[in-house]
């Protein structure tokens, strides 16, 4: 199993590290445009192999896509992150050009690959890859919901004063400060609905804290987060590589599901060796449907800024 990660910055390196530590891939290629940077990150990570007990071979290359040839999975993290006070959508001007050229170079060298898009604004970048590469829709996946759901579970555990392993929950919708749809109604503590333990006000607070999870960290760090994003990507990569058939909310091209068409947005999907093996349609309340559709309008507005 060969995995390429483009962008050896904060998220790309974290992602390579978690993939290696989970020890399911034979090879990870880190690629960056900055001379020597990916090589340095790869060497540093390889020097943790004996300490962390993994056999995955990590190599770094400066913009040489021939070294990525025949990758089973390619992850795109190249592009700029936001600074405090910015929205993810403001990154489109620079990141669209980067994601377009990077995805074309990846496919030229790995025509059968599955692509996971991380660069922001992620739903729109995922749509851009669909529009410009012509890859089948099950082979293009946007990572956002897996991370947002992890943050949702963190906030739920905090409110419940419970261990995170007791908590389950999912966030669908767009990966933006306003567009996320945390499904509080379906969240549970050990299969008991969390509404049994938390007031509407407290649950609402959890929901709002989840939606601004990325912005909160950006304000604290001065740039956006990387540990949980890297871990979330590694979970998707593992589900595909190991054909786990796991369900994650991912940004997928919808063609009628949830009453939505011609956009990529977070919905529950089954991930296996073929990529997105199924979009799962769960029953939503009218309020949840309305929230999802408002979120979709936001994503489509950003998609409208693409020069396709």
**Quick check: 78 binds ligand NAI (CB under 6 A)?**
yes
Question: What whole-number distance in Å separates Cα of residue 174 and Cα of residue 293?
Answer: 10
Q: Is 175 a catalytic residue?
A: yes
Contacts 24+ apart (CB under 8 A), 88-91: 88/120, 88/121, 88/122, 88/175, 88/176, 88/177, 88/214, 89/121, 89/124, 89/176, 89/302, 91/119, 91/120, 91/121
Closest CB 233 distance from ligand NAI, rounded Å? 8
Is 119 a binding residue for ligand NAI by CB under 6 A? The answer is yes
Using the rule CB under 6 A, give the single segment among 67-75, 91-99, 252-260, 266-274 that binds ligand NAI: 91-99
Q: How many residues bind ligand NAI (CB under 6 A)?
A: 35
Q: In what order do the strands lie in the sheet with 167-168?
A: 167-168, 188-189, 192-193
- Regarding 182 and contact with ligand OAA (CB under 6 A), the answer is no
The answer to whether residues 159 and 205 touch, using CB atoms and an 8 Å cutoff, is yes
Decide: is 225 part of the binding site for ligand OAA (CB under 6 A): yes
The two structure tokens encoding residue 110: 């790995």
Radius of gyration of the chain (CA): 18
Verify binding: residue 9, ligand NAI, rule CB under 6 A: yes
C-alpha torsion angle, residues 72, 108, 17, 155 (rounded to 10)? -90
Phi, psi of 249 (to 5 degrees): -75, 125
The answer to whether 181 and 296 have CB atoms below 8 angstroms apart is: no
As measured in angstroms, the least distance from the Cβ of 257 to ligand OAA is: 23
Closer to ligand OAA by CB, 81 or 272: give it.
Answer: 81
Residues 83-102 as x/- pattern, contact with ligand OAA by CB under 6 A: -----x--------------
Q: Does 79 bind ligand OAA (CB under 6 A)?
A: no
Establish if 142 lies at the interface with ligand OAA (CB under 6 A): no
User: Which residues contribute to the annotated binding site?
Assistant: 7-12, 32, 82, 88, 95, 118-120, 151
Retrieve residue 107's tokens: 């496919």
Judged by CB under 6 A, does residue 180 bind ligand NAI? no
Determine contact, residues 142/254, Cβ cutoff 8 Å: no
Residue (141 or 225) nearer to ligand OAA, CB: 225
Picking from 89, 86, 102, the residue whose alpha carbon sits closest to that of residue 7 is 102
- Least distance in Å: CB of 39 to ligand NAI? 12
- Over the window 122 to 161, marking each residue x when it contacts ligand NAI by CB under 6 A and - when it does not, the resulting string is x--------------------xx--x--------------
79 interface partner picked from ligand OAA, ligand NAI, none, CB below 5 to 8 A per type = ligand NAI
Per-residue binding string, ligand NAI, 242-281, x by CB under 6 A, is: ----------------------------------------
Q: Which of 138, 175, 291, 293 is catalytic?
A: 175
Which residues bind to ligand OAA, rule: CB under 6 A? Answer: 81-82, 88, 120, 147, 214, 218, 224-225, 229
Which residues bind to ligand NAI, rule: CB under 6 A? Answer: 6-12, 31-34, 37, 77-82, 91, 95, 98, 102, 118-120, 122, 143-144, 147, 175, 223-226, 229
Provide the annotated active-site residues.
Answer: 175
């Amino acid at each position: 199993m060969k995995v390429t990660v483009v962008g050896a910055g904060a998220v790309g390196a974290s992602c390579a590290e978690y993939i290696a530590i989970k020890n399911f891939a034979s090879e990870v290629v880190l690629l960056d445009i900055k001379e020597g940077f990916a090589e340095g990150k790869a060497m540093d990570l390889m020097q943790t192999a004996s300490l962390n007990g993994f056999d995955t071979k990590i190599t770094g290359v400066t913009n040489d896509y021939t070294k990525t040839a025949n990758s089973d999975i390619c992850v795109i993290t190249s592009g700029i992150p936001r600074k405090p006070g910015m929205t993810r959508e403001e990154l489109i001007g620079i990141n669209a050009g980067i994601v377009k050229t990077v995805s074309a170079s990846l496919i030229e060298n790995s025509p059968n690959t599955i692509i996971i898009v991380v660069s922001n604004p992620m739903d729109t970048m995922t749509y851009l890859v669909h529009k410009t590469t012509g890859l089948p829709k099950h082979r293009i996946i946007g990572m956002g919901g897996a991370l947002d759901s992890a943050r949702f579970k963190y906030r739920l555990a905090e409110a419940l004063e419970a261990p995170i392993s007791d908590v389950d929950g999912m966030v669908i919708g767009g990966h933006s400060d306003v567009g996320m749809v945390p499904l509080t109604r379906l969240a549970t503590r050990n299969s008991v609905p969390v509404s049994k333990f938390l007031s509407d006000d407290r649950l609402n607070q959890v929901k709002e804290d989840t939606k601004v999870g990325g912005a909160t960290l950006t304000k604290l760090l001065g740039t956006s987060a990387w540990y949980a994003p890297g871990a979330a990507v590694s979970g998707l990569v593992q589900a595909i590589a190991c054909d786990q058939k796991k369900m994650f909310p991912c940004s997928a091209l919808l063609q009628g599901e949830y009453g939505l068409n011609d956009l990529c947005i977070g919905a529950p999907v089954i991930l296996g060796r073929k990529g997105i093996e199924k979009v799962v349609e769960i029953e939503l309340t009218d309020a949840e449907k309305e929230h999802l559709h408002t979120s979709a309008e936001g994503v489509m507005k950003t998609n409208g800024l693409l020069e396709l």
